[in-house]
Amino acid sequence: MVEITCVVDARAELGEGTLWDPKAGVLWWIDIWKKLIHRYDPATGKDEVFETAEYLGCLGLREKGGLVLTMTDGFHFFDPATGKFEAIVDPEAHMPKTRFNDGKPDRQGRFWSGSMFEVPGQPIEFIGALYRLDPDLSVHKMIDGIGCSNGLAWSPDSKTMYFSDSHAGAVWSYDFDPATGDIENRRTFIDMTATGGVADGATVDAEGCYWVTIPVTSKVCRYDPDGELMETVVLPTDLPTCCEFGGKDLDILYVTSAVLRRPASHFVGQKNPGGLFALDVGVKGLTLPAFKG
């Protein structure tokens, strides 16, 4: 049995962006719709929050200190000590129907983030993209025609990149060149239709297996490098959204969840909707390097 503990009963509207800081021993995560950056310290149980001006996408540690992140209006640096944001680039400034979403640093110190279509009440348009921010702060569009960027992760040897469009019903794998950050040879890694949901945030463990959250289903699933389902963990609430390993020994899988502006009546029988959960899944994860820019 997997031990599941709610460590922050945050009732996040849309929790996402899990990121472990091994030096500080804290977990960074975000609430996109509340425009909050969270810093959870498992040693004290304290969860500190920082307000932002825009909806958030994702986070990465920065080698020079602080964070690199995306918000609705593109890539930024953030200094938690001063609360100041510094704009880097907005590659979709001309696109009012999109915002940035899932992403993280690769193992070579680049920072990746993808965008998504978000206009409530309108049919989905596949106009988003996945971008790579290099240490020289140049930005590169790597994949286009995306409805909702999600599921980004890399194999331990950095030879494979995983990525999903939540509206396309699949997680894809790509050949990844760690020296250049180039990708090629897209193929289907997981057909998500069998899960009853879509791919959201994901990570890879030290054994090279892919963990992905599947909103609406309460599931967090582990797949082997061939895309075969190995394990399913069921949370006590229905919308898990993102996951990453953390803890001193990288043996805790932290999972965010979401309330998603739904009424309290929806959560009858559920526990800690919108909470941050800690799962003892019996395997260890890998740390991601800081962005080198």
Active site residue 136: no
Calculate ∠ Cα 135-137-141, nearest 5°.
Answer: 100
Burial 124-143 (b: 16+ CB within 10 A, else e): eeebbbbbbbbeeeebeebb
Nearest of 208, 274, 266 to residue 241 by alpha carbon: 274
Q: What is the dihedral of CA 135, 140, 145, 146, to 10 degrees?
A: 10
H-helix or E-strand containing 236? none
* 283 three-class SS: coil
The catalytic residue among 21, 106, 200, 205 is 200
**Contact status, residue 116 vs residue 98, Cβ threshold 8 Å:** yes
* 202 three-class SS: strand
Residue type, 229: L
Contacts of 276 (CB under 8 A, 6+ apart): 6, 7, 8, 10, 12, 15, 27, 29, 38, 40, 47, 254, 255, 256, 257
Active site (catalytic) residues: 200
